[in-house]
Amino acid sequence: EVQLVESGGNLVQPGGSLRLSCVASGFTFNSYWMHWVRQAPGKGLVWVSRITNDGSSTTYADSVKGRFTISRDNAKNTLYLQMNSLRADDTAVYYCARGHIIGYYWDYWGQGTLVTVSS
């Protein structure tokens, strides 16, 4: 059974940093591209970032470019999102999602972890 379990969400002050983790199981992690998607309270889904299966290429939404860094450790089956210079509008539930192996969509999602940026 495919499972994605996020952790690391917390309350952080504006300008602070946080690292999210997503532990994957039930599939060959190093074969899949992985993504982060976020959802502000009561709002819609927003794509944040993507990393290729070997970690050689990353892409970011304009809203987080230069502040967030996506990475992965295939030996630990773990995806990361390092978030720096956090702002109030980064407050959201952050989901990790598996990109389909031959497609441009997400076939499995984690349950999400809440990041709150507030003083």
106 binds other proteins (CB under 8 A): yes
Residue whose token pair is 């089956």: 77
CB atoms within 10 A of CB 97: 22
54 binds other proteins (CB under 8 A): no
Residue whose token pair is 């295939």: 74
66 binds other proteins (CB under 8 A): no
72 binds other proteins (CB under 8 A): no
Q: With CB under 8 A, what is the number of residues at the site for other proteins?
A: 23
Q: What distance in Å separates the CA atoms of residue 35 and residue 96, rounded to the nearest whole number? A: 6
Of 56 and 119, CB closest to other proteins: 56
- In the chain the first and final C-alpha atoms are separated, in Å, by 40
Residues that bind other proteins (CB under 8 A): 35, 37, 44-47, 50, 59-62, 95, 97, 100, 103-107, 109-112
